[in-house]
A and B are shown apart, each in its own frame.
Chain A
Amino acid sequence: MTNPLEITDLVYKKNQKKIITDLNLTLKPGKIVALLGENGAGKTTLMRIISGVAKNYRGSVKVAGFTKEADRKGHLSFTDGLTGFANSTKINDIVKFYQILYHDFNLKQFEQLRDFMNLKPDLRLSELSKGMKEKLVIALTFSRRVDLYLLDEPFSGIDAMARKKIIKSIILWKQEKSTILISDHFVNEITAVLDEVVIIKNKTVCMQKSTEAIRADNQSVEEFYESFYQREEEE
């Protein structure tokens, strides 16, 4: 089976400054993976490169075996904020836009997710709290049927109840073979749903490990992640 993501020797510069260097990463089908790193480590940049939003990189990025940007976009689901929409836009209008843009957008699935998240269809973006907006992003992202889902810091600044709801929706709506990459700068509370962690440091992937393998060494995933940054402080 084709891997949902294969990145080889990726280099990305912005204003002549290296943001990502010599990055290699392969994700297997059917996994939930956390992309961890400090703020500014390059997590969002990496997601934007994978999804084809950020261009002019060197190296190879394959999504479900496809390298061309248009093909990649057809095999992954990524909602880059909702910054393209005016504040007065209603949820329903965003959905219409998604239906036009993505032929695999499943309205029935969206409505189920929307109801699960308790979002009313005629609400405007300006009426949504941070948590509600994040729930909407999740509902939109999971309403497509693709090999790879990218979630960029879905838990930042939202309360525990909303977080729990989002985690449960991930377990409920994930298809067996699809893979989810979730970025975050800390890792507690979601560790139990993760298959793997990928740690970004010094502009590249410095570690990829299964969470159960970490636990088998009597270490918590949080301790494991923190140890990479503590080492730096001691140096």
Chain B
Amino acid sequence: MEFKDNIPIYLQIKQYLYRQIITGKLKPGKKIPSVRELAVQLTVNVNTVQRALQQMNFEGILYTKRGEGNFVTEDTTLLEKTKRELINAELDKFVHSMNSLGVSDEQILKSLSEYLKEEHSDD
């Protein structure tokens, strides 16, 4: 895992963990690695991991069992919402980048459906 150095790393750690959860690598109700394990695995500062986990606890996507560590929520509504937010964030980036190329929303829709059709015919 490579981190960009001009974006706060705790945000990137959160993004990384969201993805792990959405893709099922970290499962609902299951314990996630300890703060230190994550820090070593991602080669980042322990305090930074701590900050990311604190925020995710606050958001409810993780919960803490005293003395046991952090667990992924089993709240399916919240998990669905997190997934939607992740998708929206990606769409946001994509649309923004297309707009900055001078492509209108209508053209994006048209280009995208043409692109997907071509991609599928390739398969």
Q: Which A positions have Cβ atoms within 8 angstroms of B?
A: 30-32, 164, 167-168, 171-172, 174, 176, 188, 191-195, 211-212, 215-216, 218-223
CB <8 Å contact, A32 and B45: yes
Of all chain A residues, which has the CB nearest B9? A192
What 1/0 mask marks residues of chain B from 36 to 52 whose CB sits below 8 Å from any chain A CB? Answer: 10011011111110010
Instruction: Please name 27 pairs of A and B residues whose Cβ atoms are closer than 8 Å in the assembled complex, sorted by A.
Output: A31-B47, A164-B43, A168-B40, A171-B39, A171-B40, A171-B45, A172-B40, A174-B46, A188-B5, A192-B3, A192-B5, A192-B42, A192-B43, A192-B44, A192-B45, A192-B48, A193-B45, A195-B45, A195-B47, A211-B9, A212-B9, A212-B48, A215-B9, A216-B8, A219-B6, A220-B4, A221-B5
Chain A residue contacts of B45, Cβ below 8 A: 32, 171, 192-195
**Shortest Cβ distance from residue A170 to the other chain B in the assembled complex, whole angstroms:** 10
**Shortest Cβ distance from residue B55 to the other chain A in the assembled complex, whole angstroms:** 13
* B18 interface residue per 8 A CB criterion: no
CB <8 Å contact, A220 and B5: yes
Chain A residue contacts of B42, Cβ below 8 A: 192
Q: Which chain B residues (15-44) contact chain A, with CB distance < 8 Å? A: 36, 39-40, 42-44
* B7 interface residue per 8 A CB criterion: yes
Q: Please tell me which one of the listed residues B4, B5, B43, B46 contacts residue A168 in the complex, with CB atoms under 8 A apart.
A: B43
CB <8 Å contact, A212 and B5: no
Q: A171-B43, A195-B47, A223-B6 are in contact. List 20 more A-B contacts (CB 8 A).
A: A167-B43, A168-B40, A171-B36, A171-B44, A171-B45, A176-B46, A192-B9, A192-B42, A192-B43, A193-B43, A193-B44, A194-B45, A195-B45, A212-B8, A212-B48, A212-B51, A218-B6, A218-B7, A220-B4, A221-B5
CB <8 Å contact, B6 and A171: no
Question: Number of B residues contacting the other chain (C-beta, 8 Å)?
Answer: 19
CB <8 Å contact, B46 and A171: yes
CB <8 Å contact, B7 and A215: yes
Chain A residue contacts of B36, Cβ below 8 A: 171-172
CB <8 Å contact, B5 and A191: yes
Of all chain B residues, which has the CB nearest A187? B5
**Shortest Cβ distance from residue B47 to the other chain A in the assembled complex, whole angstroms:** 6
Chain B residue contacts of A164, Cβ below 8 A: 43
Query: Within the assembled complex, what's the spacing in Å between the Cα atoms of A37 and B3?
Result: 24
Chain A residue contacts of B3, Cβ below 8 A: 192
Chain A residue contacts of B9, Cβ below 8 A: 192, 211-212, 215
- Given A171-B36, A212-B48, the answer on whether A220 and B43 have CB atoms closer than 8 Å is no
Query: Within the assembled complex, what's the spacing in Å between the Cα atoms of A218 and B11?
Result: 13
**Shortest Cβ distance from residue B92 to the other chain A in the assembled complex, whole angstroms:** 17
Which 8 pairs, one residue from A and one from B, show the smallest C-beta to C-beta distance? A220-B5, A220-B6, A215-B8, A192-B44, A212-B8, A171-B39, A193-B45, A171-B40
Chain B residue contacts of A221, Cβ below 8 A: 5
**Shortest Cβ distance from residue B36 to the other chain A in the assembled complex, whole angstroms:** 7
**Shortest Cβ distance from residue A221 to the other chain B in the assembled complex, whole angstroms:** 6
- Given A168-B40, A172-B36, A172-B40, the answer on whether A30 and B47 have CB atoms closer than 8 Å is yes
**Shortest Cβ distance from residue A216 to the other chain B in the assembled complex, whole angstroms:** 5
